[in-house]
Amino acid sequence: MSESKRSAARLFNSLALSDVKTKYVYKGQTREYHAHKAVFCLESEYFFNAFTSSFKISKGLISN
């Protein structure tokens, strides 16, 4: 594994520098993960638009 991949893996579900929390619900079980807006935005135009606009998600709310 490359050095950058190892460094990024250390941030998974870590409070260090996290700026967003995600909620995952599956078969009645809920899990929450600490995440990083920058990572979401690098991988997804949807999240870039959500975090930089007036989407509810940009205000810290999760909606279905």
CA 55 to each of CA 5, 31, 46, 58: distance values in angstroms, whole numbers, following the listed order: 30, 22, 11, 5
Total Cβ atoms within 10 A of residue 31: 10
Mean per-residue pLDDT, 22-36: 90
pTM, rounded to two decimals: 0.60
- Position 10 confidence tier, pLDDT thresholds 50, 70, 90: confident
The Cα 14–Cα 11 span in angstroms is 5
